Amino acid sequence: MNPLIEWVIYIVAAFASMVLAHELAHLSKLREYRPKAKVYWEKGSIVVGTHKDYEGLTNKQLYMIYSEGVYMGIAPIFPICFLVHPIYILMIIPYIGFCWNDIKNMKKVR
């Protein structure tokens, strides 16, 4: 296989696994407070829970929901770095761009 195609496949798989871990972490933490929360596809993006699910949560609970997603999304990159190549640690840079809204929300509710 062409090394360039292989590299692109690894990048797409790495980013997809980071996004999946990020959203599942949000969902699992939100379900601790709102057991019926679901994931939705809204206007071309993944949304965890509705506005109704977030109403009445304390700042600490909101911080835990946002931070859980941000931190768990980074976790899949480390096995990829060890198993494939250490250069994939640079995938953290686009990931930070992906979750920038969550990072801003973490600062708001802190």
Would you state the structure tokens that stand for residue 104, as one six-digit string?
């801003």
Would you state the structure tokens that stand for residue 55, as one six-digit string?
């109403």
Characterize 4-22 residue by residue with b for buried, 16 or more Cβ atoms within 10 angstroms of its Cβ, and e for exposed. Answer: eeeeeebeeebbebbbebb
Q: How far apart (Å, rounded) are the C-alpha atoms in residues 82 and 102?
A: 27
Q: Which residue type is seen at 77?
A: I
**Res. 32: pLDDT tops 90:** yes
pLDDT value at position 56?
94
Any idea what DSSP says for residue 88? G
pLDDT value at position 3?
86
Model pTM above 0.95? no
pLDDT band at 53; cut points 50, 70, 90: very high
Digit-coded pLDDT (tens) for 33-44: 999 999 999 888
Cα 74 to chain centroid, rounded: 8
Hey, where are the domains in the chain?
3-109
Q: How far apart (Å, rounded) are the C-alpha atoms in residues 26 and 11?
A: 23
Digit-coded pLDDT (tens) for 64-91: 999 999 999 999 998 988 888 888 888 8
Mean pLDDT of 3-20: 91
pLDDT value at position 30?
96
**Res. 17: pLDDT tops 90:** yes
In Å, what is the CA distance from 96 to each residue of 23, 47, 99, 101, 103? Answer: 14, 17, 5, 9, 8
